[in-house]
Chain A
Amino acid sequence: MPMRLNFVFGINIGGNMTLLRTPLHALHEKKGAKMVPFAGYDMPVQYSLGVLKEHLHTRAHAGLFDVSHMGQVVLRGRNYHTVARALETLVPVNILDLPQDRQRYGFFTTPEGGISDDLMLANRGDHIFMVVNAGCKIDDIAYLKRQLEPEITVEEITNRALLALQGPAAEVVLAEHHPMVAGMSFMDVKTVPLAGAECWVSRSGYTGEDGYEISVPVAVAEDLAQALLQHPEVEPIGLGARDSLRLEAGLCLYGHDIDTASSPVEAGLAWAMQKSRRAQGDRAGGFPGAERILNQLQQGPKSRRVGLLPEGRAPMREGVPLFASADADTAIGVITSGGFGPSLNRPVAMGYVPADMAAVDTQVFGEIRGKRLPLTVVKLPFIPANFKR
């Protein structure tokens, strides 16, 4: 079925399911957001600036994102050590040695060596605070409970919103609300009083820019958002620009660039698996799919996620098949994320290709509308990260 202009009007969702609302829903409407269904929530896809300008504004100044649809989970046990040990049976990351007040990227692996969600986890002294994807959170929490209870208690935090303040001006802006945040480095976490409430702040995000993620009690979430939006540097940013920002930053979107069929090694996420969890490490393996994943680390995977630059101006989006040549019969891979990169002012994409075609400068062809158009394999990220290390 060809997509017609009216495809973008009635955004594609079936049925009359009731959409959930984040604590900032009223504020989005007040700010003129265009709302769309996303992972069961009614979410802002863009505000009056539009996706392109919101994207560029975030890279130049600062953007405020509502990411309250994501799952916030607290894991508690006898002490941090107990919780870390338990979680290491599900996540192939060195959690035990993660220093207090530090955060780390990770993922749940499946028995087949795929990925069932990616996540952030933080050592908060006597417990672990975890942020998981909105679309996976119900399954993730059920899985955590099934696997870890009763030794570990798994609590979904539903009385907090989650905001992300991203961009080069984020530090200056947030430091006006509390100076402590200026001293934080990338992936530090701290409890910081903001808007009169105890907020859990991490110096991180998913845009490739410096910035913070702020878990804030629902009661003051709108006050904090309003206060941040008072700064002339800060604009509200929707999911549209969040997606183009993370794509330019070379970051994976769960359900698109990674899923249960892709291993962390194929996905280029092996960096997140520290030495201690690899073969010959202190705590090698011991997570679902360890055999296949550790084997792939040794032998190399059959396919790899790569950055791809379409040579022309035509965006190549998710699902575009990739071919080794302009006339090859069978596809060798597929684009998993793609679109227009506003900061690069050109189309950008990520996808999977066979390992022997994953070298930088390799040419492949994507087929759109019956035509084969060339793309070049490039290094990720497309835009260098601007983190405060």
Chain B
Amino acid sequence: MKYTEEHEWLRIEDDLVVVGITDHASAQLGDVVFVELPEAGTTVAKDEEIVVIESVKAASDILSPLDGEIVEVNEALVATPSMVNDDPLGEAWFFKLKAADLGQMDDYLSEAGYKKLIG
């Protein structure tokens, strides 16, 4: 598992990178009430804003952590945004990405590094 400074987690699963947000991020956002996902098949660039997530407090974007193609999105989040608060590390993954270069993963934080970041 790798982490970005934007509070995303990345997990490799069958050659794909699954992306979600951390429980810390979910707690800070508060009750999530709206999620907008990209379409499967979209080609994305690293740092491109691809997901919109709105809580009762604020709108935020999730950036694509890697260059690649969106292979699958978690449509269940659109119907039930509160999943992001209930199970951010499990059921509430956002999208699966076919990375152009898995080497980009190396730039990201380890769990220990992320824990240090959030204090």
Where the two chains meet, the residues of A that have a C-beta atom closer than 8 Å to any C-beta of B are: 2-9, 45-46, 50-53, 55, 240, 244, 313-315, 317, 339-340, 342, 347, 369
Answer whether residue B29 sits at the interface, using C-beta atoms and an 8 A cutoff.
Answer: yes
Answer whether residue B42 sits at the interface, using C-beta atoms and an 8 A cutoff.
Answer: no
Contacts of A52 in B (CB 8 A): 30-31, 33, 56
**Would you list which residues of chain B between 1 and 26 have a CB under 8 Å from chain A?**
5-8, 21, 25
**CB<8 Å pairs between A and B, sample of 30:** A3-B58, A4-B63, A5-B7, A5-B21, A5-B25, A5-B60, A6-B7, A8-B28, A8-B55, A8-B57, A45-B57, A46-B30, A50-B31, A51-B30, A51-B56, A52-B30, A52-B33, A240-B30, A240-B57, A313-B78, A314-B34, A314-B36, A314-B52, A314-B54, A315-B33, A315-B54, A339-B56, A342-B56, A347-B33, A347-B34
Closest chain A residue to B36 by CB distance? A314
Cα A342 to Cα B31 in complex, Å, equals 10
Answer whether residue B76 sits at the interface, using C-beta atoms and an 8 A cutoff.
Answer: no
Contacts of B31 in A (CB 8 A): 50-53
Where the two chains meet, the residues of B that have a C-beta atom closer than 8 Å to any C-beta of A are: 5-8, 21, 25, 28-31, 33-34, 36, 49, 52-63, 78
Q: In the bound complex, do residue A340 and residue B54 qualify as a contact, i.e. CB atoms below 8 Å apart? A: yes
Cα A55 to Cα B55 in complex, Å, equals 14
Shortest CB distance A129–B (Å): 33
Contacts of B53 in A (CB 8 A): 5
Q: In the bound complex, do residue A2 and residue B6 qualify as a contact, i.e. CB atoms below 8 Å apart? A: no
Cα A46 to Cα B27 in complex, Å, equals 12
Q: In the bound complex, do residue B61 and residue A5 qualify as a contact, i.e. CB atoms below 8 Å apart? A: yes
**Extra 12 A-B pairs, beta carbons < 8 Å, given A6-B5, A347-B33:** A4-B6, A4-B61, A5-B7, A7-B60, A8-B28, A8-B57, A8-B58, A52-B31, A244-B56, A340-B54, A340-B56, A342-B56
Top 5 A-B residue pairs of the complex, sorted by shortest distance between their CB atoms: A52-B31, A340-B33, A51-B56, A5-B60, A5-B7
Cα A4 to Cα B29 in complex, Å, equals 11
Cα A268 to Cα B56 in complex, Å, equals 26
Q: In the bound complex, do residue B59 and residue A3 qualify as a contact, i.e. CB atoms below 8 Å apart? A: yes
Closest chain A residue to B117 by CB distance? A6
Q: In the bound complex, do residue B61 and residue A9 qualify as a contact, i.e. CB atoms below 8 Å apart? A: no
Contacts A51-B31, A315-B33; A6 near B54 (Cβ below 8 A): no
Cα A60 to Cα B28 in complex, Å, equals 25
Contacts A5-B21, A5-B25, A8-B28; A51 near B57 (Cβ below 8 A): yes
Query: How many A-B contacts if CB must be within 8 Å?
Result: 72
Closest chain A residue to B22 by CB distance? A5
Contacts of A240 in B (CB 8 A): 30, 56-57
Contacts of B6 in A (CB 8 A): 4-6
Closest chain A residue to B60 by CB distance? A5
Q: In the bound complex, do residue A369 and residue B52 qualify as a contact, i.e. CB atoms below 8 Å apart? A: yes
Contacts of A9 in B (CB 8 A): 28
Cα A204 to Cα B39 in complex, Å, equals 49
Q: In the bound complex, do residue B36 and residue A4 qualify as a contact, i.e. CB atoms below 8 Å apart? A: no
Contacts of B28 in A (CB 8 A): 8-9
Cα A244 to Cα B56 in complex, Å, equals 8
Cα A223 to Cα B49 in complex, Å, equals 49
Contacts of A53 in B (CB 8 A): 31
Contacts of B8 in A (CB 8 A): 5
Cα A342 to Cα B55 in complex, Å, equals 11
Shortest CB distance A244–B (Å): 6
Closest chain A residue to B58 by CB distance? A8
Closest chain A residue to B21 by CB distance? A5
Contacts of B59 in A (CB 8 A): 3, 315, 317
Shortest CB distance B51–A (Å): 10
Cα A6 to Cα B52 in complex, Å, equals 14
Closest chain B residue to A36 by CB distance? B57
Closest chain B residue to A340 by CB distance? B33
Contacts A51-B31, A315-B33, A315-B34; A8 near B56 (Cβ below 8 A): no
Contacts of B33 in A (CB 8 A): 52, 313, 315, 340, 347
Closest chain A residue to B62 by CB distance? A5
Contacts of B58 in A (CB 8 A): 3, 7-8
Contacts of A51 in B (CB 8 A): 30-31, 56-57
Closest chain B residue to A342 by CB distance? B56
Closest chain B residue to A45 by CB distance? B57
Cα A315 to Cα B52 in complex, Å, equals 11
Q: In the bound complex, do residue A3 and residue B56 qualify as a contact, i.e. CB atoms below 8 Å apart? A: no
Contacts of A339 in B (CB 8 A): 56
Contacts of B60 in A (CB 8 A): 3-5, 7-8
Cα A26 to Cα B86 in complex, Å, equals 30
Shortest CB distance B111–A (Å): 18
